[in-house]
Amino acid sequence: MLGRILSSAQAGLLLVIICLGALLTVFAGSHADRVTGEMVNNFLNSYTLIQTLTDASFFAIMAVGATIVIISGGIDLSVGSIYALAGVTTAMVLRAQGLDGSSAAVTGLVISVGVGLLCGVVNGLMVVGLGVHPFIITLGTMWVLRGIAFVSSNAESIGLPRALTAIAKAPLGLAESLYPVPTLVMIAVTVAGSIYLQRTVMGRHVFAIGGNPEASRFSGLRLGRIQVGVFVISGLSAGIAAFMGASFYGSASCVDATGYELYVIASAVVGGASLSGGKGSAVNAMLGALLIVLIRQSIRTLHFDQNYEWIIIGCAIIVAVTLDQANARLAARRLARAAGR
What are 93-108's pLDDT values in tens digits? 999 888 777 889 999 9
What are 114-131's pLDDT values in tens digits? 999 999 999 999 999 999
Domain 44-326 has CATH 1.10.760: no
Share of the chain above pLDDT 90, in %: 50
186 Cβ neighbours under 8 A, 6+ residues apart = 53, 56, 57, 60, 61, 286
Residue 123 has φ and ψ, to the nearest 5°, of -60, -50
In degrees, rounded to 5, the angle at the alpha carbon of residue 274 between the alpha carbons of residues 126 and 292 is 100
Comparing 82 with 315, the larger pLDDT belongs to 82
Q: What is the mean pLDDT of residues 17-38?
A: 82
For every residue of 164-224, DSSP letters joined together read HHHHHT--TTS-TT---HHHHHHHHHHHHHHHHHHHSHHHHHHHHHHH-HHHHHHTT--HH
Paired with 159 in beta bridges are 251
Band of pLDDT at residue 340, cut at 50, 70 and 90 = low
Query: What's residue 2's pLDDT?
Result: 45
* Cα separation, 328 vs 333, whole angstroms: 9
Band of pLDDT at residue 3, cut at 50, 70 and 90 = low
Query: What's residue 295's pLDDT?
Result: 85
Cα-based distances in Å from 147 to 85, 123, 200, 233: 9, 16, 37, 22
* Cα separation, 214 vs 222, whole angstroms: 11
